[in-house]
Structure 1
Amino acid sequence: MHSHTARVQDIDMRWQETGTGDPVILVHGIPTGPALWRHVAPLIEGRRVLAWEMVGYGSSIPEGRDRDISVAAQAGYLAAWMEAQGLSQAVVAGHDLGGGVAQILAVRHPEKVAGLFLTNAICHDSWPVPVVKAVAATGSLLKHAPDGSVRQFMKLMFSKGHDTEAARAAALEVHAPQYEAHDGAEAFVRQTQSLDNADTRAVAEALPRLGIPARIAWGVEDEFQTLDYGERLARDLAAPLRRIEGGRHFTPEDHPQIIAEEINALVREVDAAEAPETGRQRIG
């Protein structure tokens, strides 16, 4: 994937991109970035795949200083970025916080979302999870902790969220350097203190009325976003739910083949729904 930057709303917004065709937008969560999708993106068939970086996360951590980086605000930033890139409509996929961003975007800007894919995503009142609440509540302590504390904290999150030790170690090496290169503990505290489930509760009642193609995939053993919330989203969106047996939270890294299969299936469903009698219309 190739990295790109564009100035949008006086913010340097970043994304990684591969492929050509109609757009599929991938949105990560905490404490990750676009690289969360590094194994999924190459498996998405015949599409322009754009892994968008939330403002104040990943290499965009500096852009989060003195800005609203709540989940609801991220949906607004994503909409503005889509407009700036000439993306009138896309299939949108989200994991963790990115799933909340995708839900809010679909409700507030339904014309922009052709299809919705969610995997182990926040929704309703499922978040913030206890470990994140603890960081938000004791942020001053973490800010003044010794160097390396954020890496240790991320190691704890990944140990609970990944299926294997190898996956945990790989995720730590991919995502921790973004914090270490910028504010470190201060950035992580800033992110956690921006989180409020009022953002997803505000759009929850509108989800059943979206009426767009949607699919859900869920790691059954997720301790952060439990399966009952995946089942609830499946009911809300009238969407099929693919249960990933033994899967934990970070499904795009642990089960990229399954995640890509579900996104590809959603794309085909979107194509079929939008195809007029004389041929398919592009959604980009």
Structure 2
Amino acid sequence: MTPRRAPAGFATLAGDDIIVDGARLAFSMQGEGDPVVFVHGTPSHSYLWRNIAPRVRDAGFQTVVYDLLGFGRSERPLGRDTSVAAQADLLPAMLDVLGIGSATIIAHDIGGAIGQILAVHRPERVRKLMMIDTVTYDSWPSETWRRIIRDNDDLRYVRDEGEFSAMLSRQLRMTVSDPESMNETILRNYLLPHDGVAGRGSFFTHQVRHYDSRYTQEISSQLPSLTMPVRVVWGENDLWQPVSYAERLCRDIPGAQLSIIPEAGHFLPEDAPERLTEQILDFLDNTA
């Protein structure tokens, strides 16, 4: 694996590169102990975990953060599937390259769909699963994203930088309860991967194009078969994924634990990093 510098001004935890199934993924693996893999969602990249993964590492765990294929600093290949189903196939391949047999998966948003698919189809690779404000069942895309998808039929957001920036900024500000949790500096670090016409086009090709609930609906009937420890953590004020979906997950998955974080929105790692880290460490330490 060859280290590769991030673009100037690009804040990332995934500063190294690894080749998995012929594709380049940006990643970082740090620490020693039981492996914990952090899987981000959309519109996001590994920057999401900057206030959390280092604390988990310092608590005695080996942490892996990476940018999903087509996201962040990872390769954005033309003509390659970057749906959650394809990402769920790529994750165990990455673990193989890293020499990790099974790991705890900490997953947010569409990362939670990847975690669900992996847990259903490759349960031997998942020691424990935490899902944070995840998409599931028929919960996605949200209504605001449905409208954006309709509005982008003529590529207006790809062509116009101002419209794109305004659109994505509005969406990102919806993900937090405390406006300061998505201040201008943080917001810019989420927008940076999509600079330029190619970046904006890649966003719709590799992310928005795959906002499709069929991937989670296809496996929903198999969730009751999960046997690994599962914890579902949700922001009480999530505007994209209502708490009712968290409750449904916990009804369907035997033994699943539910934690609702008050006064927090969809991007819990931004709104409540301390409380979320406490949940993660408790889950890692206190479940069999």
Task: Give the TM-score of the pair, scaled to structure 2.
Answer: 0.88
Q: Deviations over 1:244-280 (max 9, x none)?
A: 111111001111112211211221234xx3xxxxxxx
- What's 2:247 paired with? 231
The 1:202–1:217 alpha-carbon spacing in structure 2 relative to 1, beyond 3 Å, is: same
Secondary structure of 1:243's counterpart equals strand
The 1:68–1:222 alpha-carbon spacing in structure 2 relative to 1, beyond 3 Å, is: same
Q: Deviations over 1:110-136 (max 9, x none)?
A: 000000001100011110112222333
Q: Check whether the contact 1:135–1:142 (CA below 8 A) recurs between aligned residues.
A: no
Does 1:177 pair with 2:192? yes
Task: Give the TM-score of the pair, scaled to structure 1.
Answer: 0.89
Could you tell me how far 1:155 is from its partner in structure 2? 1.1
Amino acid at match of 2:273: P
The 1:144–1:13 alpha-carbon spacing in structure 2 relative to 1, beyond 3 Å, is: closer
Could you tell me how far 1:241 is from its partner in structure 2? 1.1
Q: 2:71 aligns with which of 43, 57, 76?
A: 57
- What's 1:279 paired with? none
**% of aligned pairs identical?**
31
Q: Deviations over 1:91-110 (max 9, x none)?
A: 00111010111111111110
Q: 2:209 aligns with which of 178, 181, 193?
A: 193
Does 1:72 pair with 2:85? yes
Q: 1:124 aligns with which of 119, 122, 137?
A: 137
Q: Deviations over 1:3-42 (max 9, x none)?
A: 2211111100121333221110011111110110111112
After TM superposition, the structure 1 = structure 2 runs for residues 141-152 of structure 1, keeping only pairs within 5 Å, are 141-152=155-166
Q: Check whether the contact 2:182–2:270 (CA below 8 A) recurs between aligned residues.
A: no
Aligned pair count reads 270
**Structure 2 Cα separation of the partners of residues 93 and 182 of structure 1:** 32
Amino acid at match of 1:187: S
Deviation beyond 6 Å, 4+ runs, structure 1:
none
The 1:252–1:92 alpha-carbon spacing in structure 2 relative to 1, beyond 3 Å, is: same
Q: Check whether the contact 1:100–1:123 (CA below 8 A) recurs between aligned residues.
A: yes
- What's 1:268 paired with? 285
Does 1:5 pair with 2:17? yes
The 1:221–1:84 alpha-carbon spacing in structure 2 relative to 1, beyond 3 Å, is: same
Q: 1:34 aligns with which of 46, 70, 73?
A: 46
More deviation in 89-98 or 261-270? 261-270
- What's 1:115 paired with? 128
Could you tell me how far 1:183 is from its partner in structure 2? 2.1
Could you tell me how far 1:148 is from its partner in structure 2? 3.2
The 1:43–1:64 alpha-carbon spacing in structure 2 relative to 1, beyond 3 Å, is: same
Q: Check whether the contact 1:16–1:34 (CA below 8 A) recurs between aligned residues.
A: no
Secondary structure of 2:198's counterpart equals coil
Could you tell me how far 1:175 is from its partner in structure 2? 1.2
Secondary structure of 1:49's counterpart equals strand
Q: 1:217 aligns with which of 233, 243, 249?
A: 233
- Tell me, which stretches of 5 or more residues in structure 2 are unaligned? 1-12
Amino acid at match of 2:149: A
Q: Check whether the contact 2:158–2:197 (CA below 8 A) recurs between aligned residues.
A: no
Does 1:97 pair with 2:110? yes
**Structure 1 Cα separation of the partners of residues 141 and 196 of structure 2:** 25
